[in-house]
Structure 1
Amino acid sequence: MAMVSHEYRTPLAIIQGNIELVSYGELQQRPIEGVNIKAMRRAVDRLVEVMDTALHQSRLLESVGGTAWRQVAVMGYIEQQVEAARVLWPKRVVRVECGVGNAAVAGDLPLLNTVLFNLLDNAQKYSPVWSEILLRCRTEGGMMVLSIQNQSTLPLQEDGDVLFRKSYRGRNSTIQQGKGVGLWIVREVVEQHGGSVALTCSLDGAVQVVIRLPLAGVER
């Protein structure tokens, strides 16, 4: 991972520099930065974040131990990742229904970001472009309950639990590139944070992923 990160950084730096040049040129003509430039900027930032996170994702293969954990405000965490999704996929509608107040969870923020971003990415990737992605969040019994729902392009034939296996790709993934590790990473991170994750699909093709994470400072 260190080698991959090193090799990625030079081309990413070049891309980032050229985005800045293009942005500067556009701003000379228009005072507001264009949507395409914002999307490119966010995409590069996301790649840099992924590489940095990957460097310490060896924790997935060992006990995290909570040494890098801190309190993460649920609302801020959700808003940040949803905003990133809206910039990257401006044609997609992401609706948020969240009533958690000042609730927080304890965890490693880069890894938790990976969880929510992977789920939002899957939701937009495997649903019609005209359909909305619905994110709901609430607290229940000392847990944060976060659900992401989307309309699947193809009915899921697999059991939800199977899709979380490493390198397993569902039938509707044949139209998209990938290695089948996204949901596996989601489950590994969530379980190491003391939570659980489940995926269900209704007869009308609605897919829902539900994550449960312990609230910070709540004894169970």
Structure 2
Amino acid sequence: MCINELKDAKKHLTKEVYHLKRQEAQLKKSISILRSRCVSTSNGIIAVSLEGDILGFNQQFLGMWRIPDSWMVSNSFNQCQAFFESQLKNPEAFRKLMWNISAQSDVDSYDILELKDGRIFAQYSQPQWLGDKIIGRLCSVWDITEPKRAEEVLQLNKTRWHTLAETTDASIFVIQGGNLSYINPAAEILSGYTKQELLSGIDPRQLIKNKKHRNLHNQNLQYQELKILAKNGTEHWLGCVVTMLDYEETPVKIIAGIDITDYKKAESSLHEALEQAKQVSEVRAHFMSMVCHQFRTPLNVVSFSNSLLKRRINEWMEVKALPLVDHIQSAVAQITKMLDDILLFSKAETAQLNFEAKPLDLVQFCNELIVQIQKSGSQQPINFMSQGGDLTVYIDQKLLEPILRNLLDNAIKYSPTGSPVDLKLYCECGKIIFQVTDRGVGIPVADIQRVFEPFYRGRNIDNLPGTGLGLSIVKTLVDLHGGHIAVESDVDVGTTVTIMLPLMKSKF
């Protein structure tokens, strides 16, 4: 019985020895792997048993903590405790990390250690297992001083930037991946949208409707002028500096701008003023050229006729001299008419004409005007048609006469010899209506919109004399009456000009 027990005990002991040897082999293997890792890594590594014995460490650990080699000879981590804690600003964090974690704790831990000399370490601790038991902890330490300081500087700059962005009067928009990711209070006020509205999915293209840009010397910067469409529909121009960045492989556009709407309006007004000045200059030059040209012909007639009369005044009888005198008289009348038109236009343009209504028999007035025109040598018959024999209204005769005279003169001038001109007078819907119709050269469609411009003449009447002021004067005088003018025309068919003036049968 005893022998059998001894045999069983021997077998059991043999198994235990075998098991221990396997554990020892595994432990040696783990230590070998640990040493290999400790040597190859740039981090400081130390392995400590639950009893406080140092199982292994690397030179990086000694160098980082600046521990004398003699301190590690004893392999007692507890003896180094006071040294480690003396180097730290907050020893409690290190003590909790290394000594206060129980043997049963299988959690990994991470902490930041700040040293008194200004350095900053990151420490990661994890349990070391042997089979299903924890036999100690492995700590990895690395220096994060520079990254941490860079992070602090970045955070400081971010705080400063945020403070500046929140308090500046400049509008700031940040667009990331095609969507708005930040706007400041100034941008809210400018756009009329709240930050929540803009950041909840509004397409930046809905907000930014137009842009003009030019590069600056810095390739990462652009100057842009952006047109912002506000929530209430108003438009604002921003003068912006645009910065392009890459953040986590996503393009980021930062737009910072000030409102230049007033400047753009002033710029537009300046351009308009310059354009108007240019047009005035062109009109003035055209006017001078036209006046010189129009005056030259009648003046040549006067000069030539006068020269002949001087040389032959004693030889010629009245029959021969009279036509020359008629030519002189006609030329002088032509010049007088042009000067009268220019003077009347000048007074109308400078508001030197006043509307003074007095009772006037329009039928009698029109008949007398037609007689005057036909006595001046017109060869075209004027057909006058009126609604009745007596139509007395309050109107300014001195303004009405040049209106009708210019319309009838134009109709006669641009009609074939002997072709009739119609003048109609009637009342309709509280208005006095004058209508002059000819059967002449007509006005091209492209010219109808410009016939009221000063000195403008249709392209098909260049060979006929005129200042181009007639219809411009008529339009100005009609406006003084508070009336309306309309032109209908077909080339080579004729033209109808309709004047509508307010009807006043008593003085207002």
**TM-score where L is the length of structure 1:** 0.69
Secondary structure at the aligned position of 1:158 is classed as: helix
Give the corresponding residue for 1:205: 493
- What is the distance in 2 between the residues matched to 1:51 and 1:90? 19
Deviation readout 1:169-215 (Å, 9 max, x if unpaired): 11222021222111000000011011111110146622100001112
Partner of 1:130: 418
Q: 1:51 to 1:130 in 2, by over 3 A?
A: closer
Paired position in structure 1 for 2:374: 86
The corresponding residue for 1:75 is 363
Give yes or no for the alignment of 1:166 onto 2:459: no
**Aligned twin of 1:153:** 441
Matches of 1:52 and 1:207, distance apart in 2: 22
- Asked if the contact 1:142/1:218 (under 8 Å) is kept, the reply is no
- Whole-Å Cα distance in 2 between the matches of residues 108 and 81 of structure 1? 15
Evaluate the alpha carbon distance shift between residue 100 and residue 216 of structure 1 in structure 2; reply closer, same or farther with a 3 A threshold.
Answer: farther
Q: CA deviation at 1:128?
A: 0.6
TM-superposed CA distance for 1:103, in Å, is 2.3
The superposition leaves residues 42-78 of structure 1 with CA deviations (integer Å, 9 ceiling, x where unpaired) of x96x959x74994796244327553x33122211221
Cα pair distance change 1:57/1:106, threshold 3 Å = farther
- Which secondary structure state, in structure 1, belongs to the residue aligned with residue 424 of structure 2? strand
Hey, what does 2:181 align to over in structure 1? Answer: none
Which moved further from structure 2: 179-188 or 157-166? Answer: 157-166
Task: Mark the structure with the bigger radius of gyration.
Answer: 2
In 2, Cα distance between equivalents of 1:71 and 1:181: 28
Q: CA 1:126/1:90 → structure 2, altered by over 3 Å: closer, same or farther?
A: closer
> Residues 39-188 of structure 1 correspond to what in structure 2 (within 5 A)?
47=336, 51=340, 54=343, 58-62=347-351, 64-66=353-355, 68-153=356-441, 156-188=444-476
- Matched residues in 1 for 2:441 and 2:379: separation? 17
Distance 1:184 1:76 in 2: 26
Amino acid in structure 2 at the alignment position of 1:117: R
Displacement of 1:130 = 2.6
181-190 or 153-162: which moved more? Answer: 153-162
Paired with 2:432 and 2:347, the residues of 1 have a C-alpha distance of 26
Whether the 8 Å CA contact 1:169–1:180 is kept in 2: the answer is: yes
User: Pairwise CA RMSD of aligned residues?
Assistant: 3.6
Partners of 1:72 and 1:107 within 8 A in 2: yes
Aligned to 2:505: 217
Indicate conservation of the 8 Å contact 2:436/2:496, yes or no: yes
Partner Cα distance (1:171, 1:56) in 2:
22
TM-aligned CA distance change 1:154 to 1:52, over 3 Å: closer
Paired position in structure 1 for 2:484:
196
Give the total of aligned pairs: 184
Secondary structure, counterpart of 1:173 in structure 2 = coil
CA offset at residue 119 of structure 1? 0.7
CA displacement at 1:108 relative to structure 2: 2.8
The one-letter code sitting in structure 1 at the alignment partner of 2:471 is: L
Alpha carbons of structure 1 residues 143 and 211: separation in structure 2 relative to 1, 3 Å: same
Please report how far the alpha carbon of residue 146 of structure 1 lies from its aligned counterpart in structure 2 after TM superposition: 0.8
Q: Distance in 2 between matches of 1:63 and 1:171?
A: 32
Residues of 2 paired with 1:130 and 1:181: CA distance? 25
Q: TM-score, normalized by length of structure 2?
A: 0.32
Unaligned 5+ segments in structure 1 are: 1-25, 27-35
Partner Cα distance (2:349, 2:469) in 1: 12
Contact 1:74 1:100 in 2 (8 A): no
Residue 409 of structure 2 aligns with an amino acid whose one-letter code is D
Quick check: 1:151–1:207 contact (8 Å CA) kept in 2? Answer: yes
Gap change, CA 1:105 and 1:173, over 3 Å in 2: farther
Equivalence for 2:135: none
Q: Cα deviations across residues 91-135 of structure 1 (Å, max 9, x unaligned)?
A: 211111111443234333222111111111100111111311011
Asked whether the equivalents of residues 345 and 469 of structure 2 are also in contact (C-alpha less than 8 Å), the reply is no
State how far apart, in whole Å, the 2-side matches of 1:71 and 1:47 are: 29
Pair 112,122 (structure 1): closer, same or farther in 2 beyond 3 Å: same
